[in-house]
């Protein structure tokens, strides 16, 4: 499927605008993000460890 030059221009402008908007939104939320999610890496590590344990159990039982 071919896109017209107008569609490609719109997609490019939309993409650039979206990236700019996300950068400004992140700048505004940077301080509160650190406060609310400062221990999130521990939860992520816990979930990964649980999946590794589950995988090991499944492999050992079959």
Both tokens of residue 1? Answer: 């499927």
What are the residues whose beta carbons fall under 8 Å from the beta carbon of 3, sequence distance 6 or more? Answer: 11
Both tokens of residue 34? Answer: 């650190």
C-alpha of 4 from chain center:
31
6-46 pLDDT per residue, tens = 999 999 999 999 999 999 888 888 877 777 788 888 999 99
Whole-model pTM: value is 0.49
What are the residues whose beta carbons fall under 8 Å from the beta carbon of 11, sequence distance 6 or more? Answer: 3
Q: What pLDDT does residue 7 have?
A: 95
């Amino acid at each position: 499927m071919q896109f017209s030059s107008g569609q490609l221009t719109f997609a490019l402008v939309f993409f650039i605008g979206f990236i700019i908007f996300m950068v400004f939104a992140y700048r505004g939320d940077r301080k509160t993000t650190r406060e609310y999610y400062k221990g999130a890496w521990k939860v992520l590590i816990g979930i990964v460890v649980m999946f590794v344990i589950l995988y090991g159990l499944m492999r050992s039982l079959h």
